[in-house]
Chain A
Amino acid sequence: MKTFFSIPLTLVACALLAAAAPLRAQTASECLACHADASMQDAAGHSIGVDEHKFGSSIHGVLQCVNCHADIKGYPHPDKIAPVKCEGCHAGEAQGLKGSVHSDGADHPCTSCHGDAHQIYPKTDPRSAVYPLNVPKTCSACHNDNGMAKKHGLESVYPSYIDSIHGFALSKEGLLVAANCQSCHGSHHILSRSNPESATNKANVPATCGKCHAGIADSYSNGVHGKAIAAGNMKAPVCSDCHTAHAILQPTEAAFRTQSTPICGSCHTDKFSTYRDTFHSQLGSLGGYVETARCWDCHGAHEVLPASDPRSPIAPANLVKTCGRCHAGANASFVKYQPHANARNRKLNPALYYIGLFMNLLLVSVLTFFLIHTILWLIRSRYEQIKRRSAKGGNHA
């Protein structure tokens, strides 16, 4: 009596079925005669109730129940039915999932991201679990504190993301263009960052961020870091090395400015230690409402160029202008200041080395002499005091 059971589940068929509205209504109501009961459960305790109205308005609302539950041939049907195979229609997506980090279908059924199978909406629909503004929440079901991902040794990224500039743009401003998880990681074919094909593989990060930040990607590719990465030198930093991957902050924010100098310093250790000796660093470490020069204020942030390049802000010809951005009145003599002078290196900075040495010797000799002087004095005075008091009758000794 149900003649359409063998209809293949293809998009063409979907369209045909949509046209066959009266037939569908009849069949759906047949199933819903039982399954409209929201409290209905299978033997394992899973809900098997279907909200007719919500299903009807979902993207699959035009389909028949049996289009997906293809092993049901009539009524009564067996208690245990086969899992629905989405790839019958969604072959491309299923292909993408293969080899991805979420390829294990048992751990990651389609519904884990797309939500209730009977209430799936197009990704442009705000009700959809994969609508841009809902994506982070959806991923956070696993990638959060105490989420599934932690059991696999993955860090909890949702809290970092949601407090990041991307997370704020998305959750507070509701910007559809704000980067959500899948903007960088992709959706079905998500690969581990160790995979060279992954969008988040180090070599591909500049291109991935550059999808939105095209201007910055362009200047980055002109700088020494971008050129090194392009040449295959993976020691050079990409976007995420300085900005982090998930906890990205507004770069003008004090928190970012304070946290990022050590990041440059993690590679440029010698420059970092000499920077630490300067007033720029001493004040900068304390933070506050005025700012002191950090690495990129002088060297540039994305288009980092060596001093030998005339385009570089630290090229000798550009120093007066670069220093003058903060130091009004900077002149040719002023820019002879060495922002990375090393007072511990006699060969590089002899004047500074000997001045430092003299000051230290002065400090040590003065303090040593007076420390001995004072200690001896203390002992002698106490001795005299006791002697005097005992001479007077010893009442206070």
Chain B
Amino acid sequence: MPDLEQTGAASEASGSAAGRFITRFTPAQRYMHGVLFSTFLGLAATGLPMRFSQSFWARKLASSVGGFGTIIFFHKLCAVVLTMAFLIHVKDVFQRGILNREKGIFWGPNSMVANWKDVTDLVSHLRWFVGLGKRPQFGRYAYWEKFDYWAVFWGMLIIGFSGYAMWFAPFFARFLPGWALNAVLVIHSEEGLLAILFIFSIHFVNTHLRPDTFPMDMVIFTGVESEEEFKEKRPGEYESLLKQGKLESRLGAAPAAWWINFARVIGFTAILIGLTLLVLTLSAYFRE
């Protein structure tokens, strides 16, 4: 959650009201998402064959890359990279929230921590789905985005810890009881499965494939979205920026065409891999 107001301030070019772009993510956050989804895809693609090792596609994949040795190598490689990204993020939050005493990290409209508004937003959103009320005025982070964040956060702790416990089992056995070594596999594989099913179905649809954003929400790649889109999707945040007179400081440059195209290729590849893995997972899960 670095300060967006500084990153986008430079752009004078986007001053005209018609084509203004509002910054939503800093480059660091976009890189973090890039590392997160590429390692997650790697972990899913290598973890699923192990979880569903009786399925024919798992065996085909394993034999085409030289057996599980290769698969587990890349699984561990992705895990280490993701762990580092996670630690960098935790350190960043710790530094800004605890050491620098920055406001709004742990509480407030710009925080990732859930608050009462998220509960009311969820209820009114559900009511809006069935035509019982108006659409809620979402702020910087909507409740389902916070859920995504904390699901990943909790998932990393649980999956990461159980994964390292298996990787370094003799070491962890020094402080864990014997049955815990059995439990970590159950936890790792079930939580991993939940993460995979959630990301490849719920996150994909909520964030990218629903009619408002179809086929892909580019903001995580470009960092900016057009003022109209921003106003439509984040009315709460837009209002408060206007009130505080901070909208100008959040203006960003229009993304370059080549970058949008590049991001589209990467993004669609990721979504395609994810959907393929989802189909394979479901087919193996219901055949078990």
Contact = CB atoms under 8 A, between A and B. Distances in A.
Contact of B49 (A276, A286, A289, A337): A286
Contact of B202 (A281, A352, A370): A370
B29 interface: no
A187 interface: no
Contact of B62 (A287, A336, A349, A356): A287
Interface in B108-151: 125-126, 128-131, 144, 151
B178 A289 contact: no
B198 A336 contact: no
Contacts of B174: 331, 333
Nearest to B59: A286
A341 B179 contact: yes
B170 A334 contact: yes
14 contacts: A277-B185, A279-B166, A283-B53, A288-B68, A328-B170, A329-B171, A336-B177, A356-B186, A359-B191, A366-B151, A371-B201, A377-B129, A380-B130, A381-B210
A362 B67 CA distance: 32
Interface string B169-191: 11101101111011101110011
Interface residues of B, number: 53
B198 A366 contact: yes
Contacts of B193: 363
Contacts of A337: 169, 173, 178, 181-182
A330 interface: yes
Contacts of A341: 179, 182
Contacts of A335: 178
B51 interface: yes
Given A333-B173, A374-B205, A379-B129, 12 more contacts: A277-B185, A331-B173, A333-B174, A333-B178, A336-B181, A349-B179, A352-B182, A355-B183, A363-B197, A367-B194, A373-B129, A374-B201
Interface in A66-80: none
Interface residues of A, number: 53
Interface of B: 49-51, 53-54, 58-59, 62-63, 66-72, 125-126, 128-131, 144, 151, 166, 169-171, 173-174, 176-179, 181-183, 185-187, 190-191, 193-194, 197-198, 201-202, 205-206, 210-212
Determine the main DSSP class of B at the interface with A: helix
Interface string A329-372: 11101111110010100000101100110011011001100110
A278 interface: yes
A352 B190 CA distance: 13
Contact of B194 (A351, A362, A382): A362
A363 B281 CA distance: 14
Contact of A287 (B59, B125, B210): B59
Given A283-B50, A289-B69, A377-B129, A385 B211 contact: yes
Contact of B53 (A254, A286, A338): A286
Contacts of B210: 374, 377-378, 381
Given A286-B49, A381-B210, A338 B198 contact: no
Given A371-B202, A379-B129, A288 B187 contact: no
Contacts of A327: 169-170
A331 B181 CA distance: 13
Nearest to B151: A366
Contacts of A379: 129
Given A333-B177, A356-B190, A366-B194, A378 B205 contact: yes
Nearest to B63: A287
Contacts of A283: 50, 53, 68, 72
